[in-house]
Structure 1
Amino acid sequence: MGRKKKGNIHYGHIIYRNLKRRISRTFLLSAFLFFMVFMIFSFTSILNSMREGLDSTVKRTGADILLVPKDYFSSVKDALFLGIPSTVYFDSSLEEKVAKEEGVEKVSSQMFLATIYNSPCCDEAVQIIAYHPESDFLIQPWIEKQLKREIPDGEIVAGSKLSYKKGDTAMFFGKKFPVAGKLKETGMGYDNTVFLNFNTAEELLKEPVVKNYLAIGNKKEVVSLITVKVDKKADIQKVVRALQDKYEKDNVSIETSGKLMEDTRHALKQYTTYFTFVEIILVAFTFESLLSFFIITMSERKKEYGIIKSLGGSTFKILSITIGEAAAIGIIGSLAGSFLSILILTLFRNFILLHLKLPYLRQSFSDLMLLTVFCTGLSVLTGVFAAILSSAAIQRKETYTLIRENE
């Protein structure tokens, strides 16, 4: 640290020498702040990723109303939000019926197929989603924006997390597919998904391994998800209720896209409440520990402070040394905690995604810097406040008393 000269006392040098001379104390105090910052940084990063993933899923789901088989509602949600492979299907004739209902502007359908894990017929376990480019208002605009065209028959498009790149060949259910392109990261289950059109899917359904393994049999007209866009003049809830009254008897779940993520949003609120409570406890525990250490340190250094006062140093200047030490310790602990948190979140990203069931774990450089600044500020303020409170007893004592008290 540079020297800050005031009178005959170099305060910056004194702070540096004090921290270096009491290296074990400096390390211990930094360790408290390091642990606090590490936990707060990690919790906040994970919560932000969950929130961004949820918002991205709701935004990209885009439909006003979703129709899925009643027993597979959670499977569809996991496929969209987490990219967990699942095979879901029901009779496609419902699509035409819904399109004729009052208040419905657009209708399209998708089909979900899960490839076979650890099988020679499939390169890897992924979610396959088939859709109709001509009627789809969710996937097609997004794919067309990136590829500048529709997916050709017999070809696929790969999500960002899959190992394929444009020009590769992928094999699913014993059938080979040229990869027409690779999509950018979305922060939802689409990143682990392979997309193809319904013409290609119908050819795939003819494969014996699909009929046998996925239990589709000879069914040709099947879908997994029907998406509905409601007319702007219509009331979405009224349309939902009308569809529920008419079609729920067919074992179909009819919900808004927000309902699809309701459980996940509720879980996110619970996580936020839990993490906030833990963070408050961490800050309180760290503050109490620092306060205790500074009180003990101030008592041990009474003679040192008395000598500084006898050389012309004021009580305020003595306090500035203590605050400077606390601030330096806070910066050391917070930067180390932030760095380790970023390192662990990067190195163990896939492990965290798998066990916490997150769609992605990513923050921009600016977000990381803002979080680092926040944690550093919190760490420094915690240390400085503890130092100020612990120095109250020193401020009231005379110079002679401070020099002689511990003898």
Structure 2
Amino acid sequence: MKLWQVRGGNLVKGDKITIFDREFTIADVLEETGMGYDNSIFITREAADEITGSDQYKFMFGQKTGLVSMVLIKTVHGADITDVYNNISSVLEGSETKVYPIEQLSSDLRSHIRLMTNMVGIVSACAVIIAAVALFAMVTLTFHQRRRIAGSMLSAGCPRGKVLKYFSAEYLALFAAGAAAGMALICIFLIPLHSEVKNALEMPYKLISLNDAVRLVIRTLAIDLAMLALAVSFTFFGILKTEPAMLMEEQV
């Protein structure tokens, strides 16, 4: 017999597990849903009927078959959950069956996700600000240290525009190399650690889709390029207005 396991434990596909004195084979491990049954297992209806209808477990199930503990209802797109909840509740009024809307079942998960989203947003904003300031400082400092090269080029008759293009191309090349290295490190460390990150969060989680990853990369590169352009403009145009002789002076 086969069963499906929802998270929990260290079982993997193909493992054997014994339930009610019956051996089952793990058919697969499902992703988390954030619901209370994330640490549950699912067996076939036929296997469940064999267990509940057996004489061995009569004291638990009364040798009954077709027992149902939960029914999931899929609504049509755009349906009003409140109306669905009220209609089902009115039909089942007076019975022992209870109705729980998805919002109620996942209320704790939603609160955790909101908190996590806010925290990630704050951390991301701080990271972007720190990275932008660091990039601006790096460009400003490194060009200031190499101002004598710019002075030599200007003294040799090189147009200021060509000097600007020379250093801009150099920084763009370094920027591209740094961006490529960062993406490579993310792929090297994030993807292999996917399972560890998921277990550490203890909540539904999956890797970002390719389209979302591309959009994130584009936004990140756009911010970095904007900050690089600002740093280059601020530094180059300020220094290139200085006389070549002054640029070639030793800086203390």
8 Å contact kept, 1:187–1:359: yes
1:20 maps to which residue? none
In structure 2, the CA distance between the partners of 1:251 and 1:337, relative to structure 1 (3 Å rule), is: farther
2:145 maps to which residue? 300
8 Å contact kept, 1:306–1:399: yes
Residues 324-362 of structure 1, C-alpha deviations (whole Å, 9 max, x = no match): 233222222222222222222222222111111244533
In structure 2, the CA distance between the partners of 1:335 and 1:249, relative to structure 1 (3 Å rule), is: farther
Q: Find 1:163's aligned residue among 13, 31, 34.
A: 13
AA partner of residue 45 (structure 2)? F
1:199 CA displacement: 2.7
2: distance between equivalents of 1:242 and 1:191? 28
Kindly report which structure 2 residues correspond to 1:380-399, keeping only aligned pairs within 5 A, or say none: 380-399=225-244
Gaps of 5+ in 2: none
TM-score by length of 2: 0.71
Look up the SS of the partner of 2:61 in the other structure: coil
8 Å contact kept, 2:136–2:227: no
In structure 2, the CA distance between the partners of 1:328 and 1:263, relative to structure 1 (3 Å rule), is: farther
Q: Find 2:50's aligned residue among 173, 197, 203.
A: 203
Pairing 1:176–2:26 present: no
1:4 maps to which residue? none
2: distance between equivalents of 1:270 and 1:217? 42
Gaps of 5+ in 1: 1-81, 86-116, 118-123, 126-161
8 Å contact kept, 1:298–1:394: no
1:305 CA displacement: 0.9
The RMSD of aligned alpha carbons is 4.2
Look up the SS of the partner of 1:298 in the other structure: helix
2: distance between equivalents of 1:292 and 1:236? 53
How many matched pairs?
Answer: 242
In structure 2, the CA distance between the partners of 1:400 and 1:258, relative to structure 1 (3 Å rule), is: same
In structure 2, the CA distance between the partners of 1:191 and 1:368, relative to structure 1 (3 Å rule), is: farther
1:251 CA displacement: 7.3
User: Is the strand fraction higher in 1 or 2?
Assistant: 1
What percentage of residue pairs aligned between the two structures are identical? 20
TM-score by length of 1: 0.48
1:28 maps to which residue? none
8 Å contact kept, 1:302–1:406: no
8 Å contact kept, 2:198–2:205: yes
2:172 maps to which residue? 327
Pairing 1:83–2:17 present: no
Look up the SS of the partner of 1:271 in the other structure: helix
Look up the SS of the partner of 2:149 in the other structure: helix
1:238 maps to which residue? 83
Look up the SS of the partner of 1:347 in the other structure: coil
In structure 2, the CA distance between the partners of 1:228 and 1:319, relative to structure 1 (3 Å rule), is: same
1: distance between equivalents of 2:39 and 2:75? 29
Residues 110-132 of structure 1, C-alpha deviations (whole Å, 9 max, x = no match): xxxxxxx6xxxxxx75xxxxxxx
2: distance between equivalents of 1:264 and 1:256? 14
